[in-house]
Amino acid sequence: MKKGIIIIFILMALVAVAGCTSQSNEEKNKRFTGDNITFEYPADWVIANSQANDTIVAVADPKSVNPQTGYAQTLVVIQKREGDLYQMYNRNYAILFNNSSYQRISEGNITLGSFQALENTYFVTEGDVKKKQMAIWIQRGEEVYVILCSALASEFDKEKANFDIIIDSFNFV
């Protein structure tokens, strides 16, 4: 009987300690809210400057900055444009994949929250640097949002969990 009570107390202590040490996603991640969107991103990432047109925000892993260029190589850029999703998507990739620097890996339809979206994943080679990019295109009213995840091809799969934090928490406000 005493042995059973001791085991129960030990289990209760373990549960109490485990409960005290767990962290919620909100404590581990930062949150961006602006321009009618909100999403979480990794706590060790930063808001970055983007040279891409129509950028709402860019977030990047500061550890991925290329010392020669000064640019992060692991980043997510979110853009907004007015227009029709399918026309913009088709026109964009007709131009990109006409360039030998771009090589399609996959494309398809996905659901992001309650929105149907298009996803396109591809390699892009810039000089001797090979990147893997995944773009998610979403139509909301008259506006098209693009979530572009980019990393070195050799690092992309390792960064997928960080990209998923952003994609899975992306929402309109």
Q: How confident is the chain (173 residues) per 10-residue block, as mean pLDDT?
A: 42 36 62 97 96 94 94 97 98 96 97 96 95 98 98 98 98 96
pLDDT digits over 117-130, tens only?
Answer: 999 999 999 999 99
C-alpha 102/C-alpha 121 separation (Å) is: 10
CB atoms within 10 A of CB 134: 20
Buried b / exposed e along 24-33 (16+ C-beta atoms within 10 A)? eeeeebbebe
What are the DSSP E strand ranges found in 2-142? 29-34, 37-42, 46-48, 55-60, 75-82, 102-112, 115-126, 129-140
Domains of the chain: 26-172 (3.40.1000.10)
At residue 32, the pLDDT reads: 98
